[in-house]
Amino acid sequence: MIPGDFQTLKPTRRQLIKHGILGVITLGVLVVAALALTFVISAWLGRPVVFATEGPDQPIAFPHTTHVEDLGMDCTFCHRNVTEGAAATIPSAGLCMTCHDVVGDDLEEIEKLRDMHEEGRPIDWVRVHRVPDHVHFVHEAHIRFFSERDGVEETAVCATCHGDVGSMEKVEQVRDLKMGDCVNCHRDNGAPTDCTACHY
């Protein structure tokens, strides 16, 4: 073949316009399909996938930032059961009132807290992390294992699964914590991977 012998066909103006329009339509269809897909996945997982930048609104806008970063409170001051049993637990309003009896006059969220406490109404915190009923998760085993292995404080372990909660205005889930995630970490750390370890 002689170099330069080969010539590409120049598209006509009509062809250019036709393909241009087709291209735009295809792009549009793809964008709509992608949006629909993320919506379906979000609905399926029960939480936003792409558009979420923060966690759900809570009945009282409790800021971890103020309590953890500013006041230096320990996670276990409030999540008392986390080093002892399965659930970390959220404290009752009574514990909050040890300070908010006197701290926070005239702040709207604190007035809400005081009203609920006075009326004996429980605060219906919206759950952020939740494994299905057929899954068995125990905080205590994890906290003990990693704090002993790494020689760190118990509260330093929380970030492994929950991220830097102390810097969150609203708690959001940052780690998958689905079966694959649990099993991978178990395998890497010599923890049990048989089905009955996590399923009854």
Q: Tell me which residues in 101-130 interact with ligand HEC (CB under 6 A).
A: 103-104, 107, 109-110, 113, 125, 127-130
Instruction: Name which position in 61, 121, 122, 167 contacts ligand HEC (CB under 6 A).
Output: 61
In angstroms, give the least distance from the CB of 119 to ligand HEC: 15
Q: Is residue 157 a contact residue for ligand HEC (CB under 6 A)?
A: yes
In angstroms, give the least distance from the CB of 131 to ligand HEC: 4
| Interface with ligand HEC in residues 23-52 (CB under 6 A) | none
Cα–Cα nearest to 77, from 85, 63, 67, 65 = 67
Cα–Cα nearest to 170, from 87, 102, 85, 109 = 109
In angstroms, give the least distance from the CB of 133 to ligand HEC: 9
Tokens of 159: 């970030």
* Pair 75, 82: CB distance under 8 Å: yes
Q: Is residue 66 a contact residue for ligand HEC (CB under 6 A)?
A: yes
Interacting stretch for ligand HEC, rule CB under 6 A, among 2-10, 21-29, 35-43, 74-82? 74-82
Instruction: Name which position in 38, 42, 60, 84 contacts ligand HEC (CB under 6 A).
Output: 60
Distances from the Cα of 124 to the Cα of 60, 103, 176, angstroms: 9, 22, 24
In angstroms, give the least distance from the CB of 175 to ligand HEC: 7
Q: Is residue 161 a contact residue for ligand HEC (CB under 6 A)?
A: yes
Cα 79 to Cα 130: distance, rounded to the nearest angstrom = 16
Q: What is the rounded (10 degree) CA torsion for 140, 143, 149, 151? A: -130
Q: Is residue 167 a contact residue for ligand HEC (CB under 6 A)?
A: no
* Pair 65, 169: CB distance under 8 Å: yes
| Interface with ligand HEC in residues 175-194 (CB under 6 A) | 177-179, 181-183, 185-186, 189, 191-193
Quickly count: other Cβ atoms within 10 Å of residue 169's Cβ.
13
